[in-house]
Chain A
Amino acid sequence: MDSATAASLESLHPDAFGWSLHCCGGDAGRAEDVLQNAYLKVAAERVRFDGRSAFKTWWFGVIRLTALEEHRRARFRESLLGKLLASFTEEHHPSLSRQLERDEQAAQLRAALEKLPARQAETLHLVFYQDLTLNEASQVMRVSLGSVRQHYERGKARLRELLQTSPGHE
């Protein structure tokens, strides 16, 4: 891997973690795993930036796909044993998730985003949190620009409603 790619990945690391966290529904442990696997893909040259889009757009697309793969794998692992192990590890690794929940305002927004349809929440995250344009968001999400625009408008309206009705809202 060339040093320019490595430098770009390093500078995007915090935002990449935020995106991974969003893709994993706020589960910090899974978000770390997903990001690690995405880095491994780049390191092993299983994915390669071809310059057809912005680097950030490409990288976020890789993270999104990795999160989807991880989610599919997790569904297979959801056995009784898996749940027991998960509860065990939760006890012994107090979590980044809990640490994040301490911030009430952030927690409220996260909770409201979780109530939105996945596509709407993704669009809002990419636009407001990651400062991507609608066009870039459509590339990350692999949907048309028109579709992203619709998710964006509906998502904003729904998010405002949810935030107004949330218990902590003044």
Chain B
Amino acid sequence: MNDDLKPLFEHLRESEHAATPAWHARFLRAPAPEPRWAPRIAFAAVLACGAAFWLLRPAAPSLADFPPLLDSEPRELFASLDTPSTDFLLPTHLTIHLP
């Protein structure tokens, strides 16, 4: 027999029914669909920003704008090979005499 439990649940039911939030017809109103143009506008805005950054980006400096750092004086190619080498750093007793 459930005579002891049933009234307890009945009491709980009444107590909770009294605290139930009121019924509103809006409960059954479907939420408005999200506007479909919103993602398109967002995409266009991102695209426009990208284009603006591309167009307004600072121009890359050309090589001609850099100052010459390693330019040497113009002279004849391999000219240094024609000048005789010297052995002035060798000690005198080590001077080699070729026959």
Show the binding face of A for B, using Cβ within 8 Å: 1, 6, 9-10, 13-15, 17-18, 21, 28, 32, 36, 39-40, 42-45, 96, 99-100, 103, 105-106, 109-110, 124-125, 128-129, 156, 159-160, 163
Contact A39 B11, CB 8 Å, known A13-B20, A159-B5 = no
CB distance from A26 to the nearest CB of B (A): 9
Partner of B28, one of A9, A21, A124: A9
Cβ–Cβ contact B9 & A44, under 8 A: no
Cβ–Cβ contact A103 & B15, under 8 A: yes
- Interface positions, chain B 1-30, Cβ under 8 Å from A, are 2, 4-6, 8-9, 11-13, 15-17, 19-21, 23, 25, 27-30
For the residues of A in contact with B, the DSSP-based class is helix
Which residues on A sit within 8 Å (CB–CB) of B6? Answer: 128
Besides A15-B13, A159-B5, 17 other A-B contacts (C-beta < 8 A): A6-B25, A13-B23, A39-B28, A43-B29, A43-B30, A103-B15, A105-B8, A106-B11, A106-B12, A109-B8, A109-B9, A109-B11, A124-B5, A124-B9, A125-B9, A128-B6, A129-B13
